[in-house]
A = this chain, B = another copy of it.
């Protein structure tokens, strides 16, 4: 069965060119895929022409006249700009015309548009953003990485369930090991939020392995790391900044003399593989979980590979029905009891 994805062609720092290239690569790679590009029609058509392409059976264009900027207030922008590419994209999903939306634009606005059009999944108090990190072994899913900055224990508990469902379906991880991000491995360690969340996880049938620390993130011995959106967003950006700084420092040291430069030339393939391993683009964006639908936010600096991979992940989430799986796990884990007042302020944050 064909999966149909909407791509916000106006999101991201690089302009439509890169986004269109990502969409073209995605339909090239997967025969059961259709992509609708939303944004300025003439821009998109220009970009398609550079690939010797025009809209057709598997690539469609929907013209929109507004764009949400990276620094705009998410909720306000989404409310006011009814013809913004990202807003229309989620409207198409609501109407059943596409199965998922991918955007490299303002991630807060993407989540806000998603919640406005699709709503929350039944019994989910707060949808959030899951981040996928490379580790020495497989990938690890961290949630929330920026949607919900002030959380309650029940929210963290649901983040764990949602991220576990995603890891099970996308990476085939059986009974994902769930860890709670804290500052010590003993259950008694952490702030008030973490201590209370620890109790919820401990009493659940989930494969909860207890507190994990920042240094465990990249070892690959945990599949899901749970934290609030403030801590998660700091972790996400800190990791990105450190990885870049380390690569810059290494490059600086290597270029200091001829011998080490020569050495670098010989090791170039190894460096390329290394960079690929730590490159966010390989993971294709961060899924929005907890929606009554499917969305993925990509890094503003996403290249065509990142967009292609994000579209592939979105297609997989739709065809393998992550949300159905999520609801089953939620029921099994006893996560279905947020009081109504907890379903507030979803999407606040980055």
List, sorted by A's number, 26 A–B pairs whose CB atoms are closer than 8 Å: A71-B186, A136-B249, A149-B190, A181-B234, A182-B234, A183-B230, A184-B350, A214-B236, A214-B238, A217-B238, A219-B241, A219-B245, A230-B231, A234-B234, A235-B238, A238-B239, A239-B242, A243-B246, A253-B273, A253-B274, A257-B270, A260-B267, A260-B269, A262-B263, A263-B268, A263-B270
Residue pair B231, A234 in contact (C-beta under 8 Å): yes
Residue pair A271, B242 in contact (C-beta under 8 Å): no
Report chain B residues within 8 Å CB of A228. 191
Give per-residue flags for A224-257: 1 if the beta carbon is below 8 A from chain B beta carbons, else 0.
Answer: 0001111101111111111111101110011011
Residue pair A259, B266 in contact (C-beta under 8 Å): yes
In chain B, what residue has the closest Cβ to A277? B249
Report chain B residues within 8 Å CB of A233. 183, 214
Report chain B residues within 8 Å CB of A350. 183-184, 189
Report chain B residues within 8 Å CB of A274. 246, 249-250, 253
CB of A278 within 8 A of chain B? yes
Of residues A186, A191, A230, which shows the largest number of chain B Cβ atoms within 10 Å of its Cβ? A230
Report chain B residues within 8 Å CB of A264. 263, 267, 270
In chain B, what residue has the closest Cβ to A240? B215
- C-alpha gap A240/B259 in the complex (Å): 29
CB of A216 within 8 A of chain B? yes
Residue pair B250, A260 in contact (C-beta under 8 Å): no
Report chain B residues within 8 Å CB of A238. 214-215, 217, 235, 238-239
Q: A214-B239, A218-B241, A234-B183 known; A260 and B249 CB under 8 Å?
A: no
Residue pair B270, A267 in contact (C-beta under 8 Å): no
